Structure 1
């Protein structure tokens, strides 16, 4: 059974650092090391926030925006949607206006749709679609990089 769990309080991995006190070479090295460590940290699904955001200020009007998320949270299709919303919110703030965002469909509506689907018809569709495949597809495992 699909279940949606919403925490009343959940820590989000957010950091904001001002690096303007460093010289240019030190700032560049710090940013590169920060990104390397962020990638190496990965995500522990049992305890970590599934997304981390860091803003590293490197100049009076220069920033690095480091946004990391676990792949279980967003796939390639939804990354573009979320990125569009983030940039719309950003540009709206810069332009002192309300962001223009598409209405949000509640997850519960998807669950209702899912429960209304004909499981036998879906199984028949996939059985016909995969007819003729006689081997399993190997899925790579382990950490890359």
Structure 2
């Protein structure tokens, strides 16, 4: 989302402000049930996400028959990669299994957001890249530098000046 200066920024909305709902659809009486479910999933997958409006994830519970459902989950790649999706699916399965066993679903609250880790990692990588780049160029320009004599229509003045102009 763009801030007041027009720069793109990431905003994390507090969970209590997030309007995320799992929709439910009943396909138990549908003709060509598998085709109808596949069509629904395909249509939902082709719906564009609005990157300026949360949530960037969708979920549906599709009723196949009594006590049989298909769980559909779609999320924009900007909020998760393959590893994140694997973790999310494993937590959904774990929550489902706990509920089936009549146990409480209680995941610990995260002490750090992924974005905090990403900022730290990016800073460390940039610092390492900068140091390697700085060392390379200091090595390249070590010692006496030759005068760069490029072809020109004008002859070089005898006394070097730093006169110049600026054209917009």
| Cα shift at 1:18 | 2.3
Higher RCO (C-alpha 8 Å, min separation 6): 1
Q: Cα RMSD over matched residues?
A: 3.3
Secondary structure of residue in 2 paired with 1:85 = helix
Q: Does 1:123 align with 2:167?
A: no
Describe the superposition over 1:49-76 as per-residue Cα deviations: whole angstroms up to 9, x where unpaired.
2000000111112111110000011111
| Total equivalences in the alignment | 123
Q: Which runs of 5+ in 1 are unaligned?
A: 129-145
Q: Which runs of 5+ in 2 are unaligned?
A: 1-8, 135-168
Question: Could you tell me the TM-score, scaled by structure 1's length?
Answer: 0.66
* Match in the other structure for 1:62: 68
* Match in the other structure for 2:13: 6
| Cα shift at 1:83 | 1.2
| Cα shift at 1:3 | 6.1
Secondary structure of residue in 2 paired with 1:72 = helix
Question: Could you tell me the TM-score, scaled by structure 2's length?
Answer: 0.59
Larger Rg: 2
